[in-house]
Amino acid sequence: AQSVTQLDSHVSVSEGTPVLLRCNYSSSYSPSLFWYVQHPNKGLQLLLKYTSAATLVKGINGFEAEFKKSETSFHLTKPSAHMSDAAEYFCVVSHSSGTYKYIFGTGTRLKVLA
């Protein structure tokens, strides 16, 4: 069975400071892992994905995430937060066998303070 846990439902940071959004996963298979961002009343935009290549994955808008198998983690980071980063972030696990069914985390709402 697969699952994903986002450890923080809300994260607040000041503009210009680092962002850390935590995600732990559980998977019986070699997982694919994704981070998506959702702005209010909008669909989901892919930030980055891990699919068994390099463990440090760089995404759009300065975000990156590191796949750590020993810790079953895939935390999302950004060196310097921007006001436009305020949104909901979802960590997602999938596996390549079967139906590509995505399992979503519960989401982390990022607030960026001026």
Partner 1 sequence: GAVVSQHPSWVICKSGTSVKIECRSLDFQATTMFWYRQFPKQSLMLMATSNEGSKATYEQGVEKDKFLINHASLTLSTLTVTSAHPEDSSFYICSARDSSGRDTGELFFGEGSRLTVL
Binding interface with partner 1 (CB under 8 A) = 32, 34, 36, 41-46, 49, 51, 90, 94, 96, 99-102, 104-107, 109
Residue corresponding to tokens 């935009």: 45
In the complex, the smallest distance separating the C-beta of residue 84 from partner 1, rounded to whole angstroms, is 18
Neighbours of 77 (CB within 10 A): 14
Residue nearer to partner 1 on the CB measure, 15 or 51: 51
Residue nearer to partner 1 on the CB measure, 32 or 77: 32
Residue nearer to partner 1 on the CB measure, 2 or 15: 2
Cross-strand partners of 78: 19
In the complex, the smallest distance separating the C-beta of residue 13 from partner 1, rounded to whole angstroms, is 19
**Side chain identity at 110, as an amino acid letter?**
L
Buried (b) or exposed (e) across 23-50, using 16+ Cβ within 10 A?
A: bbbebeeebbbbbbbeeeeeebeebbbb
In the complex, the smallest distance separating the C-beta of residue 43 from partner 1, rounded to whole angstroms, is 4
Residue nearer to partner 1 on the CB measure, 18 or 46: 46
In the complex, the smallest distance separating the C-beta of residue 34 from partner 1, rounded to whole angstroms, is 7
Within 8 A by CB and 6+ apart from 53, the residues are: none
